[in-house]
Amino acid sequence: MSPDAKYFPSASEQLMSITRDGPVFILTMLDNENRFTTEFCGAICDSLDYITEVIDKESLTEAALKALAVPNFVEDIFMPMLNKILLFTIPTVACVNGHAFAGGMLMAMAHDYRVMRADRGFMCMNEIDLPAPLPTGMSGLLRAKLPHHICRSVILEGKRYGSKEALASHIVDAVPDKDGIDATFELAKAIAKKVAHKSKAGSIIQSIKEDMYPETSALLLGKSKL
């Protein structure tokens, strides 16, 4: 347990932690399998709210960043969480350290940038193979972030993308030259530090993201007219 870490939902129930490296906030999932339960999604949202509070309190200008049995979990909890990440008020970088299937891939795609470990893991939307429907908010997020032919392979084929192919397909933005989690994490931090100064724009960042993804956000929140 890091003495400088903030844990969510609490120090006694550690699902997420936040630490800082200069202007960069580092969110770490601590729940082994990291399944998207109501509690886990709540911990993520609480973590993001905490960062917002810190930014406001410090006037920070440089920063980068049971379940499915719950009625309406996807509509009321999971997709609003994705929307919160998508429109977050500072730049966000996802560090993909292993497999990112279904909800894991969607969470990564909601970030502004994605870094994937070179030697381990696949990114995949496997709903077609379950089979299970893909809500319009989720497919809308993928459509907004991926080229059409890649989105088709992701959604309709359930294709598994390793790091090299994910990079070539513009699913992720970077893959480290070295294997292992440390190299992946350091590259993600480097990207975060590179864009951290953009946080000087403050709430304008969220406004710009809202203009970039108006229909995606509406779909995730169930407000689309489609």
CATH number at residue 12: 3.90.226.10
Asked whether the predicted pLDDT for residue 62 surpasses 80, the reply is no
Asked whether the predicted pLDDT for residue 59 surpasses 70, the reply is no
Count of domains forming the chain: 1
CB of 23 within 8 A of CB of 62? yes
* 31 located within any domain: yes
Instruction: List alpha helices for 20-116, DSSP H.
Output: 38-58, 73, 79-86, 103-110
Asked whether the predicted pLDDT for residue 57 surpasses 70, the reply is no
Rounded CA gap, 73 and 103, in Å? 12
Asked whether the predicted pLDDT for residue 60 surpasses 80, the reply is no
* 138 located within any domain: yes
Average pLDDT of the chain, as a whole number: 90
* 34 located within any domain: yes
* pTM, 2 dp: 0.80
Where residue 65 falls among pLDDT bands split at 50, 70, 90? very low
* 113 located within any domain: yes
* 226 located within any domain: no
Where residue 35 falls among pLDDT bands split at 50, 70, 90? confident
* 225 located within any domain: no
Range of the domain at 164: 6-220
Where residue 143 falls among pLDDT bands split at 50, 70, 90? very high
SS3 9: strand
Asked whether the predicted pLDDT for residue 1 surpasses 80, the reply is no
Contacts of 124 (CB under 8 A, 6+ apart): 99, 100, 101, 102, 105, 154, 158, 159, 160, 161
